[in-house]
Chains A and B, each alone.
Chain A
Amino acid sequence: MADKQYVMGLFRDEHQAVSAVESLTDSPFKIEKVHSPIPSHRLSHALKLKKSRVGWYTLVGGIIGFFSGFALASFTALRWELIVGGKPVVALVPFLIVGFEFTVLFAVFGNIIGFLFQADLPRFDWSTHYDERLSGDQYGILATCDPAQQEDLEDLLTEQGAEVRAFAS
């Protein structure tokens, strides 16, 4: 027999879902996941979620990008040291433009890599403990409890207005 029972409460209303999160936080049950069809600031607040750190990846990407772009332009110019248009071989203004474009490109790469890494995507086990209505119009709270307390957890969720769905494991 499984050592913990997964129960999901499905809500049509965001406020009910927020209230259920608050009740569960004060209960012996554990919130595993909260799903919603749109990003919800109220739910994030109730879950006390911290701000994402993904921006650091973006910043590092941008810094690497700037120096890569500038270095590429400088390296290629220094291979033959030809004077073009009376400008220095390593010309700051034109190379800053190349550096800028690379900054944006690599910052976006950093953004994407950071997102995939932090959000743990792509996921292959996404369908376990998932209900297909969650992408449509339902808010879902997946909670766990001791199998003996399943009924209590279901009652708590039902009281908050949820349609309850229990998962086999």
Chain B
Amino acid sequence: MALTFASIDQTVLDTLKPGGKNYWAMILLVFLGLMGGVACWAYQIFVGIGVAGMNNPIHWGTYLINFVFWVGIAHSGTLISAILHLFRAGWRNPIARAAETMTVFAVCTAGLFPFIHLGRVWMVYYMLPFPNQRTLWPNFQSPLMFDVVAISTYLTVSSLFWYTGMLPDLAIIRDRATGLRKKIFTVLAMGWTGEHEVWRHYIRIYLFFAALATPLVISVHSVVSWDFALGIAPGWHTTIFAPYFVAGAIHSGLAMVLTLMIPLRKIFHYEKIITVKVLEAVAKTIIFTGLIVGYAYATEFFIAWYSHNEVEISVFKWRAVGNYRVGFWIMVTCNTIAPLLFFIKKVRTSLVWLFGISILVNIGMWFERFVIIITSVGHDFIPHAWGLYAPTVIEFGIMIGAFCLFFLLYLLFVKHLPSVSMTEMKETLEEGGGHGG
């Protein structure tokens, strides 16, 4: 049966019915994981940052690896909701809401790590533009301060974009809800009635949101890359870092979109909305980003060789054959070779393959950040200062806690708010309509 406006509403509204035992069991599981992470962080606050495996010379460990990983995950949500909107790519509509939500929760998760990495978390106000007791202000020439500004802007903008995009859907829920739920959604929908006087302004602000979010998302991961590239460590101090990080971020985020969408589609019976064609389009984009990432890996090695800089050459050799070679080859295999399988139509239209490769890319992208961060500071200019690093149980606990936080927020979202934009799905059925402005 073909999709209609009513069937789209019904399919999405059915997902908001109270969850069963399995749902609450999942919530409990991830909540316990989150509490484990909170306990590890509390232990670190009481005992000191020494409980983590960071040492001299490796002062940046899994906390910053996870920070970059989660910021990266966030990026494809904005790619799908904003950049593909500007390109009028219709296949984005069924997954735009779920991807935008992923962005918001991933930035929330990422934003925790600089706090955790600080050790003395109560000193966080030093990063705010607020004079401390010696009337010292933050140094805005530092890439770390660019990061504070960029990430907080990104969180604010993506949250507002997400909420604004949801207004028409909140009104749909309001109009079908009863009791307390109706009252809550009445407040959330802000009196939306779908009046044309309102749509007239709405389609414009949606377009401006997309137009502003596009350069923002590119700037955010460029700024994250400058946390490294503006340092003089070998392997970090290169001009390729900004585009390389942006492509990597979108690569990892698209993989996470597949990881989330495939179970969501199955559990909520979204087969007619999130069709295999949509997933296939994501897979094709992953081929593209995977090729860019592979090209960046090759360029780094080429430039190191071509520069005749012994330190640079030494770092890159060590990455490939040194103590962390397993991480390096996981990174190369999962990020650049595995996605090539999507060239085969049977692979990119099989849910099992799509899910499996998306997990591999997630793992590969985590290892990419591990390789970039650890191997450069661990193999610096002076051989006697070289060192190794291994995360401790506390760091693993916090990392698992962060994953649980993300999935807890996501699980709560899919049962309480519309995980597919009903309005944008209806637009795909109507040729004359659209947020297109």
Task: Say yes or no: A40 contacts B160, CB within 8 Å.
Answer: no
B-side interface mostly = helix
Stretch binding the partner chain, chosen from B1-9, B23-31, B59-67? B1-9
Q: In the complex the two chains form, is B202's CB within 8 Å of A36's CB?
A: no
Nearest Cβ on chain B to A58's Cβ, whole angstroms: 5
Residues of A at under 8 Å CB distance from B? 14, 33-44, 47, 49-52, 54-55, 58, 69, 72-73, 76-77, 79-80, 84-85, 87, 91, 94-95, 97-98, 100-102, 104-105, 107-108, 111-112, 114-115, 118-126, 130, 132-137
CB pair B194 A137 closer than 8 Å: no
- The residue on A at minimum CB distance from B151 is A101
Question: Bound state CA distance, A136 and B13, in angstroms?
Answer: 11
Find B164's partner among A34, A37, A107, A112 (CB 8 Å cutoff). A112
User: Which B residues lie within 8 Å of A134 (CB)?
Assistant: 175, 193-194
- Given A37-B172, A44-B196, A108-B161: 5 more A-B contacts, CB < 8 Å: A35-B194, A36-B199, A52-B203, A104-B219, A124-B191
Given contacts A35-B194, A123-B191, A132-B176, contact A104 B149 (CB under 8 A): no
List the B side residues contacting A104 at CB < 8 Å: 153, 157, 212, 215-216, 219
B: residues with CB less than 8 A from A are: 4-6, 9, 129, 131, 135-142, 145-146, 149-150, 153, 156-157, 160-161, 164, 168, 171-172, 174-176, 190-205, 208-209, 212, 215-216, 219, 223, 423, 426-427, 430, 432-436
Q: A14-B430, A47-B196 are in contact. Are A118 and B201 (CB under 8 A)?
A: yes
User: Using Cβ atoms and an 8 Å threshold, which residues of chain B touch A55?
Assistant: 204, 208
The answer to whether B199 and A39 have CB atoms under 8 Å apart is yes
Give Cα distance in the complex from A14 to B431, angstroms. 11
A51 and B200 CA atoms in complex are apart in Å by 7
- Contact A87–B141 (Cβ < 8 Å): yes
With known contacts A14-B432, A49-B196, A104-B216, A122–B191 Cβ distance under 8 A: yes
- Known contacts A37-B423, A49-B200, A84-B141; is A108 also within 8 Å of B193 by CB? no
B146 with A97: CB separation less than 8 A: yes
- Cα A94 to Cα B142 in complex, Å, equals 8
Q: A141 → chain B, closest Cβ, in Å? A: 10
Q: Which of these, B9, B131, B146, B205, contacts A112 with CB under 8 Å?
A: B205
Bound complex: CA A91 to CA B157 (Å): 27
Known contacts A43-B196, A101-B150, A111-B212, A123 near B190 by CB under 8 Å: yes
Check A37/B176 contact, CB under 8 A, given A54-B205, A111-B205, A123-B190.
no
Q: How far is the CA of A76 from the CA of B140 in the complex (A)?
A: 8
The CA-CA distance from A63 to B6 in the complex, in Å, is 43
Contact of A35 among B137, B156, B195 (CB under 8 A): B195
**A33-B190 contact in complex given A39-B435, A101-B219, C-beta closer than 8 Å:** no
Q: What 7 pairs across the A-B complex have the smallest Cβ distances?
A: A123-B191, A137-B5, A76-B137, A126-B191, A73-B140, A122-B190, A132-B175
**A105 with B157: in contact, given A33-B197, A54-B204, A72-B129 (CB under 8 Å)?**
yes
Residues of B contacting A114 with CB < 8 Å? 201, 205
Sampled A-B contacts (15; CB under 8 Å): A36-B194, A36-B433, A41-B432, A47-B196, A52-B200, A91-B141, A95-B141, A97-B146, A111-B212, A115-B164, A115-B201, A115-B205, A118-B201, A123-B193, A136-B176
Interchain CA distance A169-B381 in the complex, whole Å: 82
Point out the residues of chain B lying under 8 angstroms from A94, CB to CB.
140-142, 146
**Cβ-defined contact, A40 with B430, below 8 A:** yes
Q: Using known A-B contacts A39-B433, A41-B434, determine if residue A126 contacts B192 with beta carbons closer than 8 Å.
A: yes
Nearest-CB residue, chain A, relative to B161: A108
A57 to B366, CA, bound (A): 41
Shortest CB-to-CB span from A128 to chain B, Å, is 10
- CB-CB under 8 A for A121 and B140, given A55-B204, A97-B146, A137-B5: no
Residue of A nearest to B149 (CB): A101
How long is the Cα–Cα vector from A84 to B141 in the complex, in angstroms?
A: 8
- The chain B residue sitting closest to A70, CB to CB, is B140
Bound Cα distance from A79 to B89, whole angstroms: 49
Closest chain B CB from A5 CB (angstroms):
20
A residues in contact with B136, CB < 8 Å: 80
Bound-state CA distance A91–B141 (Å) is 7
Q: Give Cα A143 to B260, complex, Å.
A: 46
A118, B197: Cα distance in complex, Å: 9
Contact check, A84 vs B139: say whether CB atoms are below 8 A apart.
yes
Are A101 and B146 CB-contacts (below 8 A) given A34-B196, A108-B157, A121-B198?
yes
Chain B residues lying within 8 Å of A47, measured Cβ to Cβ, are 196
Task: Evaluate contact between A79 and B432: CB separation under 8 angstroms.
Answer: no
Contact between B193 and A119 (Cβ–Cβ < 8 Å)? no
> Is B168 a contact partner of A135 (Cβ separation < 8 A)?
yes
Q: Closest Cβ of chain A: how far from B157's Cβ, in Å?
A: 5
Residue of B nearest to A47 (CB): B196
User: In the complex the two chains form, is B208's CB within 8 Å of A111's CB?
Assistant: yes
Q: Is the CB of B201 within 8 A of A52?
A: yes
**A115 CB to nearest B CB, Å:** 5
The interface residues of chain B lying within 8 Å CB-to-CB of A135 are 168, 171-172, 174-175, 192-194
Assess whether A108 is in contact with B140, with CB atoms less than 8 Å apart. Answer: no
A55 to B437, CA, bound (A): 12
- Chain A residues with CB below 8 A from B199, complex form: 36, 39-40, 44
- Beyond A97-B146, A118-B201, whether A76 also contacts B195 by CB under 8 A is no
